[in-house]
Structure formats: C-alpha cells, structure tokens
Amino acid sequence: MTSQAQVRTGKGEGETVGVALLGFGTVGAEVYRLLGENSEAFTHRIGGPAEIRGIAVHNKNKQRPGVPAELLTDDAKSLVLRDDIDLVVEVIGGIDYPRELVLTALNAGKSVVTANKALVAAHADELAEAAENSAVDLYFEAAVAAAIPVVGMLRRSLAGDQIQRISGIVNGTTNFILDAMESTGASYEDALAEATRLGYAEADPTADVEGHDAASKAAIMASLGFHTRVKFEDVHCEGISTITADDIEAAQEAGYSIKLLAICEHLVNEETGEESVNARVHPTLVPQEHPLASVNKSFNAIFVEAEAAGELMFYGNGAGGNPTASAVLGDLVGASRNIIHGGRAPGENAYANLPLADFGDVRTCFHINMEVADRTGVLAAISNVFADHDVSLRTVRQEDGESTARLIVVTHSAQERVLDAIVTKLGELDDVKAVNSVIRLGA
C-alpha cells in the first residue's frame, strides 16, 4: 500500500485504461453497450481508450449475444487482480461478496466505481480507508438516485457551502405507489400490485416499501453532506405499508401529499449550541405547494437547503438500467481521467465527526387521525393531553360519523419522544376508539 500523502502519477495521454466489469445484469449490460457504442467519444473525454478486458458473471456459459466469450469469467477475484486491470466497475448488488471484491481491488491499487448503495451505506468508512491507503479513487454516484447528480453535488458543487438539510424522494417504487393512491384513490395493496405488474416493484418489495432502500441512500447523503460517518443502522426507518386510502384522502383535504422522504438534518441545540446530525426515512406530509409534492410516478427528487446557495432541487429518473448506467459511466470517465492524467477525486472527509442525534430528541410535527366518541367534552379531554405535555395544536378538524367522529389534529413542533408519549396517552382514553394513523409533517 502507498502512504496517505502519496499521489499516483498518470499512465500518460493516449494510454489505455483496462476495465473489469463485475456483474452483467440490466445495468452491467447497459454499461458494456454504451461504452462500446460510444468508444471514440469516451476516448476523447478520458484522454485515452477505456477497454473492458473482463466481465465477471455467475454463469459464463449463458448466451450473451454480442459479448465475446473470452471476456467472460466466473472468477471475479482473479479478474480484479489481473495486471492489465486499472479500474473495477462493480454492479453486482448485495453486500458481503461485493465488499470482498471491492476491498480486494482497492487494496491492490485499482480504482473502483460502484452502484451499490447497500455496500456504501454499510461499509463506507472501510472502503474509503482502503482507497486512501492505496491512493486510488472510489466513485459511487449511481448509489443514490441513479443519474441524478447527488453525490457529485455534495462532494464537489456544494463543497464550499454549509448544508443544513437534505430531503428527498429517493425510491421510485414507493413514490409510484403513493402517487397512484393519490391520483386514483386505490388502496395500498392495489397500488402495489400495479407497481409489481409494471415492473416498478420487485417480487419481494420489502426493501422498497419498508424504507430500507431509501435509508441506505439517506446514510450516504448525510455522510457526504455533513462530513460525518453515518451508516444504514444509524437511520431511523419507517415504510409505507401502513398508509391507507383514508390517510391519502385526509392529507389531500388538509392540503398535503404523502411522500416517503429521506431527511438528513444538521441540528444545532438552541440552548447549548451543540451540533448533531440526524437521518431518517418515513412517510411525510408535504405541503402541496412544495416542489417535492409534485414529483409523481417513479421519479426521484432531492431538495437541498444550504447556507449560501439557498434552496436547490434535483429531479429525474432515480432508477433503471439506462439512468444507472449513465451515472456509472460518468464515474468511469472521472476515474479513468485520473488514471491517465494522475491525481485523485475528492474522497471521504469526515472531519466534522458530529454526534448522531437521538431520534427522540428530533423535533417534528405530527398529523394524528383518530376515531373518537361523538359527544360533548371529548375535544377538551384530548386537548388536555397535549397541554399536559406542553405541546400546542396548529389545527383541529372534526368530521361527524354515524356513531363516532373522525378527529384530525396537527401539532406544532415538539420532540419525537414527547409526541410518542402523547400518542400512547391518547390511545388509553376511553373516548378515543382508535388512533388510525400518525404521520409526520416535513419538507
């Protein structure tokens, strides 16, 4: 390994960058196709040819039209370690096996481009250290919202600013489902079935609908935005599987859309001045006039609030073979240019090392939908619960039913643990027949 202070010299103008492609699914196949079809343009952009010299696959005997058989191998580790490989592109997915391969590549002095959000969210510190020790690049633009340039924006474009908050729709499957529920009145189950039929949802949609996919991306965004290592397990995570058509209708009536948001915040305690970082994923009521509320179908969008730049939004396709391949190839160009000309791209910089805020200390507002007894004094009893916890109400709306009433309250900002205690207490009141839903406000 090289020392951290050492900078690699380039191979030289016109030299070839040898590329190992790990994985040949939808994204890998598109990377191979686009790099081959536009080879001359890539040569000009890089300063020399980028040549795929090997493709690691699970089954090398499977027919892959247009791909020379001699490029295929089922021994990924040996491919990574070959002397004619300068750059490794990992598009396998998963964590443990790709981690082994990526670390092998970095430790052997090969730069790496990966689209693997789960890997980066779980092991960013280990991978960054290996890249630093070997003085090579680790690129992962495609790990967050595919072709939307989120990583580059946080690493470079806003490197001279202080980012205060990042909130984003970073999972196309859940956005498609929620948008379908809002636009058609469909139930969650019917919207999920439609998403599955159209190919937006996997056969097992758990990672998407329970927020795990978005949480991995939130960890990456928080780490880059606040110069603090945040891992997947540090992200508070809730999914959309409990959202009902009634929740959607109530939100619309109140002037909101429900979105699954990844929210990353730089927090400052008003009394002590202490700084901390929070990252969370949960269904969120977004005011209909906010730009994120209009993001429909399977599109993604990231809304950034920075001290000097103000408010910025990045919008586009956040998944799929072509958009993801576009991001991978953008990273390939950047890494290859450094291999040809020398130098390195900005790496991990966790200098701030801010503490992670306890989720219970995070301040938010709640939209609480209850079924209550339709009689005099109920509203007073419920209001007393909020008053006893020193939380004020922003709005109260009651809709009469046959024997019960629906009561919807929106709180002012309070700590999560306080609001949780209020919801628990409300559930214990005889006059509260059910707490139908509790959804946070945000964006």
Tens-digit pLDDT profile for residues 164-189: 999 999 999 999 999 999 999 999 99
Burial grade of 238 (CB within 10 A; 0-12, 13-18, 19 or more)? middle
Residue 117 marked in a binding site? yes
pLDDT at 6: 63
Question: By the 8 A CB rule, do 123 and 99 touch?
Answer: yes
In terms of domains, do 158 and 274 share one? yes
In terms of domains, do 334 and 426 share one? no
In terms of domains, do 40 and 80 share one? yes
Active site residues: 217
The overall average pLDDT reported for the chain is 94
In-domain check, residue 273? yes
In terms of domains, do 210 and 297 share one? yes
In-domain check, residue 12? no
Question: By the 8 A CB rule, do 170 and 144 touch?
Answer: yes
Share of the chain above pLDDT 70, in %: 98
In-domain check, residue 266? yes
The model's pLDDT over 88-143, given as tens digits with 9 standing for 90+, comes to 999 999 999 999 999 999 999 999 999 999 999 999 999 999 999 999 999 999 99
In terms of domains, do 429 and 370 share one? yes
Q: How many CB atoms lie within 10 A of CB 429?
A: 17
The model's pLDDT over 378-397, given as tens digits with 9 standing for 90+, comes to 999 999 999 999 999 999 99
Residue 24 marked in a binding site? yes
In terms of domains, do 194 and 266 share one? yes
In-domain check, residue 11? no
Whether the per-residue pLDDT at 67 is higher than 50: the answer is yes
pLDDT at 434: 94
Residue 12 marked in a binding site? no
Q: Identify the CATH number of the domain in which residue 189 sits.
A: 3.30.360.10
In terms of domains, do 140 and 177 share one? no
Residue 2 pLDDT grade (very low, low, confident, very high; cuts 50, 70, 90): very low
Q: How many domains does the chain have?
A: 3
Whether the per-residue pLDDT at 39 is higher than 90: the answer is yes
Last residue of a domain, one of 341, 376, 409: 341
Question: By the 8 A CB rule, do 33 and 64 touch?
Answer: no
Which element (helix H / strand E) includes 368?
strand 363-373
* Host domain of residue 411: 361-441
In terms of domains, do 197 and 308 share one? yes
The model's pLDDT over 370-383, given as tens digits with 9 standing for 90+, comes to 999 988 889 999 99
In terms of domains, do 176 and 283 share one? yes
Determine the Cα–Cα distance for residues 22 and 33; give it in Å rounded to an integer: 15
In-domain check, residue 346? no
The model's pLDDT over 342-380, given as tens digits with 9 standing for 90+, comes to 999 888 888 999 999 999 999 999 999 999 998 888 999
Determine the Cα–Cα distance for residues 186 and 323; give it in Å rounded to an integer: 29
The model's pLDDT over 226-251, given as tens digits with 9 standing for 90+, comes to 999 999 999 999 999 999 999 999 99
Whether the per-residue pLDDT at 62 is higher than 60: the answer is yes
In terms of domains, do 72 and 156 share one? no
pLDDT at 3: 42
In-domain check, residue 304? yes
In the sheet that holds 72-73, the strands lie side by side as 72-73, 50-56, 17-22, 87-90, 111-114, 138-139
Residue 27 marked in a binding site? yes
In terms of domains, do 137 and 232 share one? no
Give the rounded distance of the alpha carbon of 79 from its chain centre. Answer: 30
Question: Rounded to two decimals, what is the model's pTM?
Answer: 0.92
In terms of domains, do 137 and 159 share one? no
Residue 168 marked in a binding site? no
In-domain check, residue 325? yes
Q: Using DSSP, state whether 179 is helix, strand or coil.
A: helix
In-domain check, residue 419? yes
Q: Identify the CATH number of the domain in which residue 106 sits.
A: 3.40.50.720
Residue 440 region, left (φ>0) first, then alpha (ψ -120 to 50), else beta? Answer: beta
Q: Identify the CATH number of the domain in which residue 419 sits.
A: 3.30.70.260
pLDDT at 247: 94
